[in-house]
Structure 1
């Protein structure tokens, strides 16, 4: 990780703005989840509330990429942060005044998710333009490290706030983080964050999708990302809070989430030090750790209360989340770096949008499917099924000939 990049004013503005935005993004989901539980949500209803944030993100992310190509990315990043701040502030206000119900909470989550759709495309695609191609690899690692620091602070802070205060306090703090991010993004120089005009909106979308479809190694990686996010979102984000309330409590749940994000930082550091020595096939195998917390949660919900000390469950779940996020980050940085180096600049925004869609599309599906699956087979077996899906995807992707060829020879975007 090259901290000297932060001496570049444009990159520093981008990095700080993203850091603050990720703090808000870490606070939001945990606050929405426990706010829904406090309003009486069951696993099906909680799945709908948390999926309400992911659905507009998936629907709008491709359009967010095309919009980012036509408007200054500085403007898009600021507007996205404002939208996210409004969503969290609205939810906090409804809860504080006693007017909140599950449908209104879902609407507020959707507004926040819409802001995230435009934020991701604008701030990811501009990285190479800000630092230049020679520094792109180091900047990618530093950018992700900043994201992970923000998530550690946000998730841990969210757990502490919902445990010792209330979900509405956590939502209000998250809204403030997004508000400060607006000021940070305002410092991005307009001359660096330019816009592209004169091209068809739908043509940009079609070009990006076509590139992803014909790039077989990219499709294979997207499969693993999709399945991993589906399983993790359904198992950890929906059933996890119920397991926490049934075992070690809300504040330790937030701290376990922070430990998970520390794993993302460790993974980014490992990926940065290994650099070209870690190839996609090995990175895909390491990403299989995403199934570990699902197994631990299944055991928490399967074994009778009191058989295992709750703090022991907290330890093992934290360790599993750490391993899962470390593996995921190693894989993600490997994919990100390959995209930065192989994808033509004119298509990079749309390819990043497609990558984000693959990750995000699995989330609402997992969040909405886990409730009916829970009703059908129970929580422990549902979690075991999700863990098996992750394992199957890892085997399929790591054994894919196109991915293995990319790992053993020179990069080729047509692989």
Structure 2
């Protein structure tokens, strides 16, 4: 009789989904479930404390400022220290800052400057986390399946974000923003624990270099030496400054005045999230021959939501526009990650320059929007 042990055991995971990839994906899902709800909770915490739309914008800008100040340093640190330790330390800082934020809000004694300070600490954690996480993800995937792996990672992350936003919005209404922030703190703790098990033995030890400034100069040379990299940074600097901030601040105001309140705006955001999941699913099957051309063309639909809000169109057409723009931006995201992987950049040092440009534009746009409300 043939026993079950005589048959070869099949892995439930595809060959490209190794241990590190699985841990990174699971941690990203946990983090996004908590963080998307926390974004809603933080805004309502500011409003519940007596703030207005301008105060919400200032709190958001306070989170972005440390990203501008520390992102390049974070990239250099991620290139000098074990990446998983940098990620865990950043998660710990985010956990502590969100826990303190939650305690203040639950106690009913949160002030704007305190919320801005804690948001800034959270942004500092992200400034050190992002370069290490990007480099770790790039090193966990190789070969022809890289595009599919990145698409699956982003689909899981975006799906978790969509669910987290929906669940977070409901929980804010039921139990209050403070408890949603507490859940986010727990999510950061769980994600940090998962990332502590990452294997970095395959990453060669760093050779002695010329110090932090030398690393930053090297990153700048990597950046300007690749036209495909800095041209897309220039493109997205305009997109983030003009389109991103307008959607983040203008959308809720239009929904309040013309669409019937937060409910329709929540449906529109849900449609955008569904579009991102659909875009990631599409990219698991489709690999464009010219990745950057396909991705860049998919940036143009991002102007459609702002145009729809300017009319404004009814909720149904707005949801359709948001879905298409979400799908398009996810096609860009997967194409961009795959192009970076194939480009063999020094990711830990050069990619923070990209994020620095985008976050600088976003910071000033948010401040400008908040002052105009």
CA distance in 1, matches of 2:282, 2:322: 17
SS of corresponding position for 1:41: coil
The answer on whether the counterparts of 1:159 and 1:255 sit within 8 Å (CA) in structure 2 is no
Question: TM-score scaled by structure 2?
Answer: 0.87
CA distance in 1, matches of 2:163, 2:299: 23
- Structure 1 residues 299 and 276, CA, compared in 2 at 3 Å: closer, same or farther? closer
* Structure 1 residue aligned with 2:26: 16
* Structure 2 residue aligned with 1:330: 331
The answer on whether the counterparts of 1:77 and 1:122 sit within 8 Å (CA) in structure 2 is yes
**1:247-299: per-residue Cα shift (whole Å, max 9, x none)?**
44445544533332222222223334321335423432321121222223334
The size of the alignment, in residue pairs, is 360
**RMSD of Structure 2 on Structure 1 (CA):** 2.5
The answer on whether the counterparts of 1:151 and 1:258 sit within 8 Å (CA) in structure 2 is no
**Equivalent residue in structure 1 for 2:162, among 152, 157, 165:** 152
Is there any run of 5+ residues in structure 1 with no aligned partner, and where? 301-307, 376-415
1:293 aligns with 2:305: yes
Q: CA deviation at 1:193?
A: 5.4
Q: CA deviation at 1:7?
A: 5.1
- Structure 1 residues 175 and 139, CA, compared in 2 at 3 Å: closer, same or farther? same
SS of corresponding position for 1:126: helix
CA distance in 2, matches of 1:339, 1:329: 15
Is there any run of 5+ residues in structure 2 with no aligned partner, and where? 1-11
- Structure 1 residues 188 and 194, CA, compared in 2 at 3 Å: closer, same or farther? farther
Q: CA deviation at 1:50?
A: 0.9
Q: CA deviation at 1:8?
A: 2.0
1:353 aligns with 2:349: no
**Equivalent residue in structure 1 for 2:146, among 115, 131, 136:** 136
1:207 aligns with 2:218: yes
SS of corresponding position for 2:298: helix
- Structure 1 residues 317 and 171, CA, compared in 2 at 3 Å: closer, same or farther? farther
Q: CA deviation at 1:177?
A: 1.3
**1:36-88: per-residue Cα shift (whole Å, max 9, x none)?**
22333333322111111111122212111111111111111111111112222
CA distance in 2, matches of 1:193, 1:248: 53
CA distance in 1, matches of 2:298, 2:356: 22
- Structure 1 residues 357 and 195, CA, compared in 2 at 3 Å: closer, same or farther? farther
**Equivalent residue in structure 1 for 2:131, among 121, 125, 149:** 121
**1:117-161: per-residue Cα shift (whole Å, max 9, x none)?**
222111111224223344433322222222212211222222222
* Structure 2 residue aligned with 1:393: none
**Equivalent residue in structure 1 for 2:74, among 52, 58, 64:** 64
1:174 aligns with 2:177: no
Q: CA deviation at 1:232?
A: 3.9
Structure that is richer in helix per residue: 1
Question: TM-score scaled by structure 1?
Answer: 0.79
CA distance in 1, matches of 2:261, 2:167: 15
* Structure 2 residue aligned with 1:319: 320
